[in-house]
Amino acid sequence: MAETQRPNHPPSIADAWAVTAERAAETTFFFDFDGVLSPVTDDPDASQPVPAVPGVLERLAAAVHRVAIVSARPVSFLRSRFASLERVDLYGLYGLEVWHEGAVVTEPAALPWIPAMSDLAERARAELPPQILVEFKRLSVALHYRTAPQLSGEVERWGHEQAERHGLKIQGGRMVIELKPPVDQDKGMVITEGVRDAHCAWYFGDDMSDIKAFDALRAREAVDPGFFGVAVAVANPETGAEVSSAADLTLESPYAVAQFLTDGLTSF
């Protein structure tokens, strides 16, 4: 199946689904949100999952041990898009937030950074050109230049200056840079923890931050050759080449992800 051949990996997608179905009770599916479950929009507030996605995720969650969305969005945003889902776990802000027993649980080490992130968002609105969309996410600030790509250099410079001055971390993405508190948390860490007791896991991602999640599957496989991990990229013109080259297979779009899962579910 894979663009990268690995020992113990089934040779075709049909075989991969068959192995997954055999291990259903010990399998977790992880999904990024933007660009994977939802097509990209100019306005981040306007993005919605592909219509078939909520239904297919709920059916998948009934068939395997666990399904989780691992996103850079806040949990409150994910809840607004997936209110109907009862069985799907939600990780927000790269795992700084988790939806647990009906409430958002936030990593305590990040909480003192809320005022600094709020100030940063205000400064970004005042100091960056008005075409730059500033998304304040409580514990991070995303600076979007999708509608003004000619300003990417200016945004990068401003972001790096702020990061240096205030001791923040930077995460690059698709026509965006994001400033985050200096707290050790990323998607790779969520997946490392999430696959500790699993025998099979799939991760679907399209952006730079998802490569760490792919790496976490590989690392698990390295210590347990019986573990079956599948890294699935979703194609896109910005980060697509880099993400695809780190993945086992690439799907064309969020619509193709929904169809891929619908087809795969027939194996269970």
Interactions with ligand L263DTV3, residue window 167-186 (CB under 6 A)? 173-176, 178
Please state, in angstroms and rounded to a whole number, the distance separating the CA atoms of residues 85 and 75. 13
Q: Is 248 a catalytic residue?
A: no
Angle between helices 187-194 and 208-223 (to 10 degrees): 30
Question: What minimum distance in Å lies between the beta carbon of 47 and ligand L263DTV3?
Answer: 4
Residue ranges of alpha helices (H) inside the chain are 13-22, 53-63, 75-81, 114-127, 152-166, 187-194, 208-223, 240-245, 254-264
Q: What is the footprint of ligand L263DTV3 within residues 223-242 (CB under 6 A)?
A: none
Q: How far is the CB of 25 from ligand L263DTV3 (least distance, A)?
A: 28
- Select the residue interacting with ligand L263DTV3 from 135, 186, 221, 248 (CB under 6 A): 135
Member of 120, 180, 198, 207 binding ligand L263DTV3 (CB under 6 A): 207
- Three-state DSSP state, 231: strand
Q: Minimum distance between the CB of residue 84 and ligand L263DTV3, rounded to whole angstroms?
A: 19
CB closer to ligand L263DTV3 out of 47 and 250 = 47
Among candidate residues 90, 71, 77, the one with its CA nearest the CA of residue 45? 77
Among 15, 32, 89, 197, the one annotated catalytic:
32
Phi then psi for residue 246, to 5 deg, are: -95, 0
Closest to ligand L263DTV3 by CB, 63 or 120: 120
The token pair that represents 235 in the structure block: 């194609």
Say if CB 145 and CB 158 are below 8 A apart: no
CB of 139 to ligand L263DTV3, least distance (A): 11
Q: Measured between alpha carbons, how far is 199 from 230 in angstroms, rounded to an integer?
A: 11
Q: What is the 3-state secondary structure (H, E, C) of 58-108?
A: HHHHHHCCEEEEECCCCHHHHHHHCCCCCCEEEEEHHHCEEEECCEEEECH
> Between residue 12 and residue 51, which ones bind ligand L263DTV3 under the rule CB under 6 A?
32-35, 40-42, 44, 47
**At closest approach, how far in Å is the CB of 72 from ligand L263DTV3?**
3
97 binds ligand L263DTV3 (CB under 6 A): no
Active site residues: 32
Which residues of the chain form contacts with ligand L263DTV3 (CB under 6 A)?
32-35, 40-42, 44, 47, 71-73, 135, 142, 144, 146, 173-176, 178, 207
